[in-house]
Amino acid sequence: MTRICREVQANLPSYVEKSLPLLRRRLVSLHLRRCPDCQADFARQRHVSTGLSALSGPREEPPDGLLDSLLDQAAQPGMKGRVAVPARGAVSGARPALSVALLVAGAAAGTGIGYAGWTAARGVRRRIRR
């Protein structure tokens, strides 16, 4: 590997990202045309760069159906049972509704399904009033 090769390969990441100054860019592309070693490295760099941008691409939304399945799980009797069991002990306290609300808020914060917890809390409170 020549000194120029090292120089070129050091610039390849910027070259791949197209952030290299024009003159350097020209030199790198000229060298790439006649140096198989650097061509191979360039192909590798480009591969890594595409892989990384695919990984860091826009994926702000959770996968399709994840939210639905979470809400479904929360609506299952199991979840309501788990919320209601400790609540039964709290009912004997002075402020059952508040205890249940705090309990559900804690459970919701822990599981990250605030809405489902809130809905369950409404259900529990309705059951207590009856």
Query: Interface with Zn ion by CB under 5 A: which residues?
Result: 5, 35, 37-38
* Residue nearer to Zn ion on the CB measure, 39 or 69: 39
**Dist CA 45 CA 43 (whole Å):** 6
Give the nearest distance from C-beta 16 to Zn ion in angstroms.
Answer: 15
How many distinct helices (H) and strands (E) make up the chain? 7, 0
Q: Report residue 6 as tokens.
A: 């090292």
- Residue number with CB closer to Zn ion (44 or 88): 44
Q: Whole-number minimum distance, CB 53 to Zn ion, in Å? A: 25
Q: Decide: 117 and 74 in contact? Cβ < 8 Å.
A: yes
Q: Which is closer to Zn ion, CB of 9 or CB of 83?
A: 9
Read off the DSSP letter of residue 61. S
Nearest to 42 by CA among 5, 87, 71: 5
CB of 1 to Zn ion, least distance (A): 7
